[in-house]
Amino acid sequence: MLRRNTIERSMKSFFFVIATASIAILAAIMVFLFAEGLPIFETVSVTDFVFGKYWYPTFEPPEFGILSLIMASVLVTAVSAAISIPLGVMTAVYLAEIARPKVAEIVKPVVELLAALPSVVIGFFGMVLVAPFLQRVFDIPTGLNLFNASLMLAFMSIPTICSISEDAIHSVPNALREASLALGATHLETIVKVIIPASISGISTAVILGMSRAIGETMVVLMVAGGAAMIPESIFDPVRPMPASIAAEMAEAPFRSDHYYALFATGVVLFLFTFLFNLIADYVSNKYRQVGEASL
């Protein structure tokens, strides 16, 4: 009996220790990013790094300002959100409210498979097929630009937005739906005035996580965004978002040179962006948790 109890207790501690692995990895990521990124600030001040407009890491003397990279990331994410939020949320409404169950059972796996497509394949698709198409249709110098990257990113974040929103809409109690319909509201009015407000916390979480996925996505912006490190003036200008800059330059940056440190510091900025997105998503989903009718 004593032995059994000892085993029981040690099993529980064992599983607890392993469950903290995720936190340990997250902490290790932060430690190593900062350890390899912070040395750049001995050369450049934090303000010059974040707000500097010129990214010429291989020039003599080099310039390490990542404002154009940050702007590129933010703009690409914003434009992709303008596409992915309506499409993602509308598809979620379709799946949860409008589609017949049989149809939904086919459409859902399709959306899940869209999420499963490797990012390099979407990048390749954007590069060899969408870019020439855009170039011809809009008569622009290059199809590899902000808009193309945003379009590809949108289709990568739609599955995230759609599936989390759909869960939120599904968990709205049927009583609310029935009450609204019984008062004479049409199905659309019920969706807009009752169901979406009741599930808005879940939908917001979905949108934030979708945008977080878009800002951190690497291969698509590396292959499709065009790569020019400048602040874009039009939606058809080529840009160089942060992940693309890191991925493209790390191989050529000498080990522990200023350039290497600057790329890690860019990684820190990128990490902070997504970390913030995730914290907000977590806060929203906990603070405004759907608790049945109480959430209205």
Partner 1 sequence: MDMERTASETDLFQTDRRKRPMEKDSPFKKMAGAGLRRRKALQSAVFFLIRLAAVINGAALFVILFFMVKNGIGAINWTFLTQPPIDSMTRGGILPCIVGTLALSLGAIVIAMPIGVASAIYLNEYARPGKVLRLIRLGINNLAGVPSIVFGLFGLALFVVYFKMGVSIAAGALTLGAMTLPVIIGATEEALRAVPDTYREASLGLGATKWQTIYRVVLPAAMPGILTGGILGISRAAGETAPIMFTAAVFFTPVLPSSIFDEVMALPYHIYVLATAGTEIAKTRPLQYGTALVLIALVLGMNLVAIVYRSHLRKKMRN
Binding-residue pattern over the window 196 to 215 for partner 1, x denoting contact by CB under 8 A:
-------------x--xx-x
175 sits near partner 1 (criterion: CB under 8 A): no
282 sits near partner 1 (criterion: CB under 8 A): yes
Name the nearest CA neighbour of 147 among 124, 128, 129, 131: 131
Q: Who contacts 155 (Cβ-Cβ below 8 Å, separation ≥6)?
A: 84, 114, 122
292 sits near partner 1 (criterion: CB under 8 A): no
Structure letter (DSSP) for residue 98? I
Residues 144-173 contacting partner 1, CB under 8 A: 155, 158, 162
End-to-end CA distance of the chain: 52
The single residue among 46, 82, 113, 175 that binds partner 1, judged by CB under 8 A, is 113
78 sits near partner 1 (criterion: CB under 8 A): no
Residues 48-67 contacting partner 1, CB under 8 A: none
User: Which residue lies nearer to partner 1 by CB, 79 or 93?
Assistant: 93
Contact 88, 101 (CB under 8 A): no
182 sits near partner 1 (criterion: CB under 8 A): no
Rounded least distance, CB 264 to partner 1, Å: 6
Two tokens at 70?
A: 């940050």
Q: How far apart are CA 293 and CA 296, in angstroms?
A: 6
User: Which residue lies nearer to partner 1 by CB, 33 or 194?
Assistant: 33
Rounded least distance, CB 18 to partner 1, Å: 4
Rounded least distance, CB 176 to partner 1, Å: 18
What single string gives the DSSP state of each residue in 238-286? -B--HHHHHHHHTTTSPTTSHHHHHHHHHHHHHHHHHHHHHHHHHHHHH
Name the nearest CA neighbour of 154 among 192, 195, 180, 126: 126
The stretch among 41-49, 64-72, 94-102, 228-236 that binds partner 1 (CB under 8 A) is 94-102
Q: How far apart are CA 160 and CA 265, in angstroms?
A: 28
User: What ranges make up the beta strands (E) of the chain?
Assistant: 55-56, 63-64
267 sits near partner 1 (criterion: CB under 8 A): yes
User: Which residue lies nearer to partner 1 by CB, 34 or 54?
Assistant: 34
287 sits near partner 1 (criterion: CB under 8 A): no
Q: How many residues bind partner 1 (CB under 8 A)?
A: 86
